[in-house]
A and B are shown apart, each in its own frame.
Chain A
Amino acid sequence: MDEALISLEKVTKVYGGGTRALNEVTLSFEKDEWTTIMGPSGSGKTTLLNIIACLDLPTSGIVRIDGKEVTGVGQAALTRLRRENVGLIFQQYHLVPYLTALENVMLAQYYHGSLDETKAADALKNVGLEHRLDHPPAHLSGGEQQRVCIARALVNEPAILLADEPTGNLDQTNGNLVLQLIRRLHEEGRAIVLVTHNPDIAGFGARTIRMVDGSVEQDSKIRSGVDGSVERFTNPIRLVDGRVEQDSKIRRRQKW
């Protein structure tokens, strides 16, 4: 089996107040996979994304990126892993208001230690914003701001793009534009992990993980058949002797 890009092994996250946000979650993400994480508020999906993005460390369990263990490396090393491996796309775009579109993209290069204006401009061109390089975020529409955010996430060529409700603040037209863009990036070979409430968006990805109360409730994959039919494989999670297990025997086959 190919080495998973990111793997989580019995990852638990308990916040200061005693809130158990993740409960012994075991998951792995492959290099060319598009995974959608769904679930109600408070189900732990944002915490899961934080840990995949190396924004936070688990309370217990092991996280590996490219087979290397992340857990226990310390904040500074975590920061390095994050900027080397992860591109982040936010619901609120999080652009720096006093920098232009180009400078916002270059900010990621700056912290990555690889300033290159041409490359930053190319990243913006890649998302269709070559005419907006010198505009500050306030002069851009929501869709354009989200595309700047995507360009910034792309510019250091991360292996995985993490998107948190990327279309949450956008109208349908702009939302579709952004999803098309993400699909293209996926087709170029990037792993995508996308968190959303929207079941329509979940349809873009081959794999959907459903979180409930800090655990993975359902993990299903769609495979395109040779005849054009689409199959969905669902791997329900169940507790065996108090441990969460993914049971491949209960794989159901259904027509999509």
Chain B
Amino acid sequence: MGVASVLIGAAVVTALLTVSLGVGDQVGQEFTKYGADLMLQPQSNTIQIGLPGVSIGSVTEQRYINESDLWMIRTIEHRANVLGFAPFLYQVVTVGDGPNAQQAVLAGTYFNKTIQIPQPASSQDPSEFSTGIADISSWWKVTGNWITNQNDTTSAMVGSNVAQKLNLTVGDSFKVSYAGTQNSTTATMQNGTTATMQNGTTATNVKELKVAGIVESGGAEDNQIFVNLPVAQDLSSRPGKVDTVQVSALCVRCPVADMASEIQGKIPGVQGTTITQLTNAEMSTLDKYQSMMALVTAVALLASTMGIFTTMTANVTERWREIGLMKSIGAENRSIASLFLAEAALTGLIGGIGGFGVGIVLAQFIGLRVFSTTIPLRWEVLAVAIPIAIGVSLLASALPVRRATAVEPAIVLRGE
């Protein structure tokens, strides 16, 4: 019963710590899973027109972010929290020829690009930064391969819906053509940004691409084709231009709003939007969950203490005569106390180890049910759970042990 009491306490402690530590890490990743923490767009690229109260439509003056400014994202005050970013340049392209031709959105981006930082914010900062969609969208399910070479101009990663529609599999080649004047379609991007095709280009650019991997994200990405940024820039003749930049922050309570305004201050003509609502919802889930778990832990440890206290008291009462005997044949109080404290410590150790095992399982259950994620095993939790289990056992045994040392050796002769 003593072991069971400790086991329950240790299990809850283990579950709490494992989930807190694991989810702490995981939540950062969870956030990126829902998309970037920050979205950078060119400032005010749409102006509403019309009579007062009557909207006629909008005039869109296409603006861009300069690719050459992106390094400045890594020079903001919270630069250490920038997990990564990826620029996007969108265009609607025609895939294939003749009657089978289909239209699709082609996005130029960084997969895994090393950018130079000409003026680091501090002399300790590195002058290079490796980033790209592989860092911020690591949850993508990719059949085939990621594009890893930043100079690869012939490979593409194709969204699963596009691949299905065009009947493309890994290794297939396909042609994309971009004709500026023929195409006045406005593509609505995943973030709601409207990218209107540039007018005035009459030439049709054609590019042959090979499917490196098929992307399944469950989101807008499934309807897009991804290529290295220069490929997209060439195809639509917009060298050095970027429509949007997605920025991921690596931290649990990121000051994303500060980061947004810091980036706005660094890069002229850029507007930063945070994905705050989502972030806050996740945060409050974790916070609520942690306070609840802390409460459960306190109650469980209290219950453990009472359980051990009861067990040890019963143990001392049951062995009253044995204690008297030991004292009568020469045991000092110290020996009696050591005997019972050693038993308590052993109970704590066994209960602690068992509780750790149960706690790991409990943590997985909570992880899957509450956060829909598995939680990695954290061995350092064992180093906390065992001392807590032993500590609780010893603490709860203090009074029973005092009772044991108070047993009078004379009871052995009373013939009771």
Point out which of B325, B408, B415 has the most chain A C-beta atoms below 10 A from its C-beta. Answer: B325
Q: Is the CB of A90 within 8 A of B413?
A: yes
**Nearest CB of A to B324, in Å:** 8
Contact B410 A96 (CB under 8 A): no
Stretch among A75-83, A176-184, A214-222, A231-239 lining the B interface: A75-83
Cβ < 8 Å to A, chain B residues 306-334 = 321-322, 324-333
> Could you tell me the dominant secondary structure of chain B's interface residues?
helix
Q: Which of B328, B335, B408, B414 has the most chain A CB atoms closer than 10 A to its own CB?
A: B328
Give complex CA distance A24, B324 in Å.
Answer: 27
CB < 8 Å neighbour of A76 from B322, B332, B412, B413: B332
Known contacts: A56-B408, A94-B325, A96-B325. The answer to whether A82 contacts B414 by CB under 8 A is: no
Interface residues of A in 47-90 (CB under 8 A from B): 49-50, 53, 55-56, 75-76, 79-80, 82-83, 88, 90
Residue B108 CB within 8 A of the other chain: no
Q: Roughly how many angstroms separate A160 CA and B324 CA in the complex, as a whole number? A: 20
Contact A88/B329 with A96-B322, A164-B415, A165-B415 known, Cβ cut-off 8 Å = yes
Q: B330–A46 contact, CB under 8 A?
A: no
Task: Among A53, A79, A97, point to the contact of B413 (Cβ < 8 A).
Answer: A53
Hey, what's the 0/1 contact readout for A210-231 against B, CB within 8 Å counting as 1? 0000000000000000000000
A191 contacts B by Cβ under 8 Å = no
CB pair A79 B332 closer than 8 Å = yes
Does the CB pair B414–A46 fall under 8 Å?
yes
Residue of B nearest to A47 (CB): B410
* Chain B residues near A55 (CB-CB < 8 A): 328, 408-410, 412-413
A79 near B331 (CB under 8 angstroms)?
yes
Whether A82 and B328, one on each chain, are in contact in the complex, defined by CB atoms closer than 8 angstroms, is yes
In the bound assembly, the distance between CA atoms of A111 and B332 in angstroms comes to: 8
Name B78-102 residues within 8 Å CB distance of A: none
In the docked arrangement, what's the CA distance between A183 and B88, Å? 105
A5–B410 CA distance with the chains assembled, in angstroms: 21
Cβ–Cβ contact B413 & A164, under 8 A: yes
- With A and B bound together, what is the CA distance between A96 and B326 in angstroms? 9
CB-defined interface of B327-346 with A at 8 Å, one 1/0 digit per residue? 11111110100000000000
For B, the interface residue count at a CB cutoff of 8 angstroms equals: 20
Residues of B close to A75: CB separation below 8 A: 333
Q: How many A-B residue pairs have CB under 8 A?
A: 68
| A133 CB within 8 Å of chain B | no
Interface residues of A in 79-133 (CB under 8 A from B): 79-80, 82-83, 88, 90-92, 94, 96-97, 107-108, 111-112
* Residues B53-82 near A (CB distance < 8 A): none
| Total interface residues in chain A, CB < 8 Å | 28
Q: Does A152 contact B (CB under 8 A)?
A: yes
Q: How many angstroms between the C-alpha atoms of A90 and B413 in the bound complex?
A: 7
Q: Which residue of B lies closest to A54 (CB)?
A: B409
Contact of A83 (CB < 8 Å), options: B321, B330, B333, B414? B330
Could you tell me the distance between the alpha carbons of A55 and B329 in the complex, rounded to whole angstroms? 10
- Contact: A91 with B415, CB < 8 Å? yes
Taking a contact as CB atoms under 8 Å apart, the answer to whether A92 and B330 are in contact is no
Taking CB atoms, residues of chain A closer than 8 Å to B327 are 79
Which residue of the partner chain B has the closest CB to A97? B322
Please measure, in the bound complex, the distance between the C-alpha atom of A49 and the C-alpha atom of B332, giving whole angstroms.
20
Task: Specify which of B324, B329, B408, B412 is in contact with A152 (CB 8 Å cutoff).
Answer: B329
**How many angstroms from the CA of A107 to the CA of B330 in the assembled complex?**
9
For the complex, give the distance between the alpha carbons of A156 and B328 in Å.
Answer: 13
Task: With a 10 A CB-CB cut-off, give which of B326, B329, B414, B415 has the most chain A CB atoms.
Answer: B329
- Residues 386-416 of chain B, each 1 if its beta carbon lies under 8 Å from chain A, else 0: 0000000000000000000000111011110
Report Cα–Cα, A146/B324, bound state, in Å. Answer: 17
For residue B325, which residues in chain A have a CB less than 8 angstroms away from its CB?
A: 90, 94, 96
* For the complex of A and B, 9 pairs with smallest distance between CB atoms: A83-B330, A111-B330, A94-B325, A55-B410, A50-B410, A111-B331, A108-B329, A56-B410, A55-B409
Q: Which residues of B contact A (CB under 8 A)?
A: 321-322, 324-333, 335, 408-410, 412-415
Q: A88-B329, A88-B413, A107-B326 are in contact. List 16 more A-B contacts (CB 8 A).
A: A50-B413, A53-B413, A56-B408, A79-B327, A88-B412, A90-B325, A94-B321, A94-B322, A94-B324, A94-B328, A96-B322, A111-B331, A112-B330, A152-B329, A164-B415, A165-B415
- 16 pairs from A and B in contact (CB 8 Å cutoff): A49-B413, A76-B332, A79-B330, A79-B409, A82-B329, A83-B329, A83-B330, A88-B413, A94-B322, A94-B412, A107-B326, A108-B329, A152-B329, A156-B330, A165-B415, A168-B415
